[in-house]
């Protein structure tokens, strides 16, 4: 089972699991990060995703302060499809260059995520670092 971790020097993230299955994510909360952290856990193959692409991905999102999951395509039972330029800046900067079949860990500072105004009902706190594990299924 692939395993990797990102040491953001404040938040510790451990991810295990195979591409295509919901990952197990263990978060040790810490101070909010100030820079986008991008770690390839599994490298895909083929062309690299470009800015503005329409992509299909499975993902799970956690709040770093609480360690609580707030969104997951796996919970809904199907990958999500959306244009990259219509999501948070942390995704826009963190997914570019990814290849289909890859899994990437994103540790996103609040200003590249939801900032001080998370969506109502999102379960995210104001100013919270966001953590996503993304499996890129396809893009065009």
Instruction: Please give the Cα distance from 69 to 29 (Å, whole number).
Output: 13
Region for 67 from its dihedrals, namely left if φ exceeds 0, alpha if ψ lies in -120 to 50, beta otherwise: left
**Is the pTM for the entire model greater than 0.75?**
yes
Write down the pLDDT at residue 7.
45
- 3 pLDDT band, cuts 50/70/90, is very low
- Residues 68-115 pLDDT 10s: 899 999 999 999 999 999 999 999 999 999 999 999 999 999 999 999
- Residues 6-61 pLDDT 10s: 544 578 999 999 999 999 999 998 888 999 999 999 999 999 999 999 999 999 99
Write down the pLDDT at residue 44.
97
Query: How far from 102 is each of 15, 31, 58, 71, 119, CA to CA, in Å?
Result: 14, 28, 11, 20, 28
Query: How far from 115 is each of 19, 110, 124, 130, CA to CA, in Å?
Result: 29, 5, 10, 10
Burial of 16 (0-12, 13-18, 19+ CB in 10 A): middle
């Amino acid at each position: 089972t692939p395993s990797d971790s990102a040491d953001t020097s404040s938040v510790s993230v451990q991810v295990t699991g195979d591409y295509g299955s919901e990952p197990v994510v263990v978060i040790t909360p810490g101070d909010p990060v100030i820079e986008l952290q991008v770690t390839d856990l599994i490298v895909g193959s083929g062309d690299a995703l470009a800015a503005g692409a329409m992509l299909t991905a499975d993902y799970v999102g956690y709040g770093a302060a609480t360690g609580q999951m707030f969104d997951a395509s796996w919970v809904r039972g199907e990958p999500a499809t959306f244009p990259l330029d219509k999501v948070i800046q942390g995704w826009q900067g963190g997914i570019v260059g990814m290849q289909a079949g890859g899994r990437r860990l994103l540790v996103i500072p609040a200003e590249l995520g939801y900032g001080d105004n998370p969506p109502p009902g999102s379960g995210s706190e104001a100013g919270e670092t966001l953590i996503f594990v993304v499996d890129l299924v396809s893009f065009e």
